[in-house]
Amino acid sequence: MEGSESEAVFESLNLSPRLFINETLNTVDDLLDDAFHFYNQEASNLFKTDGTDRSRFLSEGIAYIRNMIQSDLDTRLGMWEKYCLHHVFAVPKGFSLPQTKESPTETFTCQDLLFDPDLDAQLDILRNRLTMVGKESAGLNHELQALERQSASSDHCSELVSQALQLYGQSLYARHVSRYVVNHVRTS
């Protein structure tokens, strides 16, 4: 696409397919990094490997899986990039932009279209809400874990009391049987 008719058309519209593709690839890389960082944290918490040799093994295993996925993803995204440049962002041969008589003040750049203060304010509000919900979720998760530990402790105590009652019942039964036998032997 470089130096082609398509590139000239897009440049005249203040658009850059390469910039779009690079931003998309960077976003995918950022998402992958965030996903594996989260996965590593959750696995470490789940398996309680902080500060142990298992932590190193877990990190190495996750890095190995990440590299496999990254390699495959890079190959596929490379093919996607080529496809986009040759097919999606290619204009037909002989295409020309219509000549309009717009004044320079009437044309909008991509940046003008992307900047909307109201939308940015709404996005900031949503980001703040999402942060608050995330903190609340973490707090609720800690409470849930505490309740689960408390429930497990209660279950254990209940089981011990049940065993003690069972032993007491057996002991009581044994006493009654022995009294019966003793009384029966005396009367016979």
The reported pLDDT for the residue numbered 113 is 55
pLDDT tens digits, residue range 75-105? 999 999 999 988 888 888 777 777 766 544 5
Q: How far apart are CA 29 and CA 23, in angstroms?
A: 10
Interatomic CA distance for residues 35 and 130, integer angstroms? 17
Instruction: Say whether pLDDT at 116 is over 80.
Output: no
The domain limits of the chain are 1-115
Q: What is the pLDDT of residues 5-57, one digit of tens each?
A: 777 788 878 888 889 999 999 999 999 999 999 999 998 888 888 878 888 88
> What contacts 90, CB < 8 A, 6 or more positions away?
1, 4, 6
Predicted local confidence at residue 2, as pLDDT: 54
Q: Judging by beta carbons within 10 Å of its beta carbon (0-12, 13-18, 19+), is residue 89 exposed, middle or buried?
A: buried
pTM: 0.47
Beta carbons within 8 Å of 55's beta carbon, 6+ residues apart: 44, 49
Q: Greater confidence, 131 or 2?
A: 131
